[in-house]
Amino acid sequence: MNRFNSGKRYISRGIDAELPEYLIIMLWQYIDFLKDKCELDYLQVFRLYKEGEHSQGIEHTQEQPKPFKRRYTLFAENAPLVNAKVYVIDDETHETMILAEEY
Average per-residue pLDDT for the chain: 94
**Residue-wise DSSP of 35-102:** HTTSPPPSEEEEEEEE-SSSEEEEEEEE-SSS-EEEEEEEE-TTS----EEEEEEE-SS-EEEEEGGG
- For the domain that residue 44 is a member of, what is the CATH number? 3.10.450.150
Domain encompassing residue 43: 9-102
pTM: 0.94
Is 22 part of any domain? yes
Is 43 part of any domain? yes
Is 70 part of any domain? yes
Is 31 part of any domain? yes
Confidence of residue 2 (pLDDT cuts 50, 70, 90): confident
Render pLDDT for 37-61 as a digit per residue (tens, 0 to 9).
Answer: 889 999 999 999 999 899 999 999 9
Is 2 part of any domain? no
The domain tally of the chain equals: 1
Whole-number pLDDT of residue 1 = 64
Is 89 part of any domain? yes
Is 53 part of any domain? yes
